[in-house]
A and B are shown apart, each in its own frame.
Chain A
């Protein structure tokens, strides 16, 4: 046969430590919900998690759960249940998968963590529309279904430069959440604890940034596919010492790889940037596809979305507002173009792959000519692949494979 020997990316040893941390997190969350020892808040991924942590809530992240539904390839069977009650197949497949899972009484947590039977029942639902409007609609459905309040922040969109006016607006909105959250938590907000939480988030973010930037080395010691897994603690445990401790361990391992000249992919011949969401149900397949082509997908906008340099314990709420506003997804196309060009230089990128996710226009930056403009300015070739984060019905694996193989051929022949 014409197939050559398969190559896979190297396992990161710290994964075992991370799995333990994540396991502890999910069991604590389950314990809070089943015993009532702690109140449970659901929070969208870049919502005011620091505030919730400081008020003592156990925090569940529905987007994290939806990504698990995707990674376990359960989502495609669950999405139709949400479609059937009126949620279009064209809207966020995180939302439809998660609501579908609820309707069917299914969760991947039950299989991964014996003893857990369902997602933790919330006492409050908190969103920030900095991601998209869909998160607000998502929480609104649960609010009605479960009879718990949904409160949140409505962020400005297409922000070019984050100004004081933007920050003032979001600061006021976060402050306005406090009385309601205090009422549900049954405690007053302890500003010292909030400062400490924000400082821990800052520390977590700095370490996560250093982790991602190890990929500047040649060969790169980690890939985008590793990043999507290892960002778990940065997503669900930012603001905690555990996340900080974990990234110190991970960083040490990657720095050792650099010293030893060990790449995540053997014989790295091209360096690729991934723009857009991962295809959660195809992480392994995509990882192997690139590894077999001796190509490393080593940096991404997505994994870098958990870097928040503006967190500052000296001015916690305002710095939270600024950090949430500086998120890539909130920004203007002009900002995004400059950002991607900076990443091309920083990571010495040979080619960019834009994932046009059918149900996530907010994270698909290939629809308004941006790839062509970046390519014209940098000369770095790009490829747009059609797919989706969670709905595998939107994917043609064969077309993805042919496109990626042809793209890597093109890069190799262009040298």
Chain B
């Protein structure tokens, strides 16, 4: 049977994410890979993987929307592009019925997006031209400390006496980290300090209205950051299912929105008859 599917492709500066949903907005399949240097090829690979996990075929794609830093580099499908701020907002509108603030920590950008009670974008802010508080900051520190990114969350949880880093600047922060190593500080305390620095930079970008939700690859792999953010903000912070896919799912939802529903119904019934 032919199943109409809708695809969102989020080509970020660090990772490419693809989400496949059905006409009922259910996530059927997904894939995440490093974006690398050939965005189009990576997107194509991710699409193939996500269709496979969804149990769907290319010809079942009704519509696709691309987003992210490489949103115009998608050449395998006539996709319309949307900004990642738009796609995260679309995702938030679908998942929440109250006013929310989405805090997205991406590879090179942080975003704070406010949606009102009806899911309309009330405002948004991106970080200025600076890597402080982004995924790139943690990647840089992971290299400096020679600690795999995926090991950081567990290490931070072991901290007993967090080291505070003061600088706005990623490069100066690295110098501070080295200084703390010289002074014999423990690695878990330094890693927790790095997390604290990320959260602080992000929380201070804007005020936070309604329910606070965190998305992006950094929190997907480091849920301790969300717990710490909740403690620092003095309010619960939601870590949704598939936080790294929020933008890609939002893009897929746009793809569904932009599709003629009668056409989809006809396709479903055609599939049921001839599939």
Contacts and interface: CB of A to CB of B under 8 A. Distances in A.
B126 A403 contact: yes
B100 to A, nearest CB: 15
B126 A1 contact: no
B15 interface: no
Contacts of B128: 386, 399
Given A410-B121, A410-B124, A414-B120, A402 B72 contact: no
Contact of A409 (B72, B74, B83, B109): B83
B83 A402 contact: yes
A280 to B, nearest CB: 18
B74 A2 contact: yes
B69 interface: yes
A164 interface: no
Contacts of A1: 72-75
Interface string B121-160: 1011010110000000000000000000000000000000
B189 interface: no
Nearest to A1: B75
Interface in A20-48: none
A377 interface: no
A402 B69 CA distance: 8
B48 interface: no
Q: Please classify how large the interface on chain A is, using the bins under 10, 10 to 19, 20 to 34, 35 or more.
A: 20 to 34
Nearest to A402: B83
Contact of A2 (B71, B109, B124): B71
Interface in A397-415: 398-399, 402-403, 405-407, 409-410, 413-414
Interface of B: 66, 69, 71-75, 78-86, 109, 120-121, 123-124, 126, 128-129
A232 interface: no
A3 B85 contact: no
Contacts of B81: 2-3
A228 to B, nearest CB: 23
Given A413-B120, A414-B120, A402 B85 contact: yes
Contacts of B124: 406-407, 410
A394 interface: yes
A25 B114 CA distance: 51
* Chief secondary structure at chain A's binding surface: helix
Interface string A360-390: 0000000000000000000001000010000
A395 B83 contact: no
A392 to B, nearest CB: 12
Contacts of A403: 126
B79 A2 contact: yes
Nearest to A384: B125
7 contacts: A2-B78, A2-B81, A394-B129, A402-B83, A406-B83, A406-B86, A410-B123
Contacts of A3: 72, 81
A314 interface: no
A370 B131 CA distance: 26
Given A403-B126, A413-B120, A414-B121, A2 B85 contact: no
A396 B109 CA distance: 12
Nearest to B78: A2
Contacts of B129: 386, 394-396, 399
Contacts of A398: 69
B23 to A, nearest CB: 22
Contacts of A407: 124
Contacts of B82: 409
A406 B74 CA distance: 19
Contacts of B75: 1
Nearest to B71: A2
Given A2-B66, A2-B71, A409 B85 contact: yes
Contact of B86 (A381, A396, A409, A414): A409
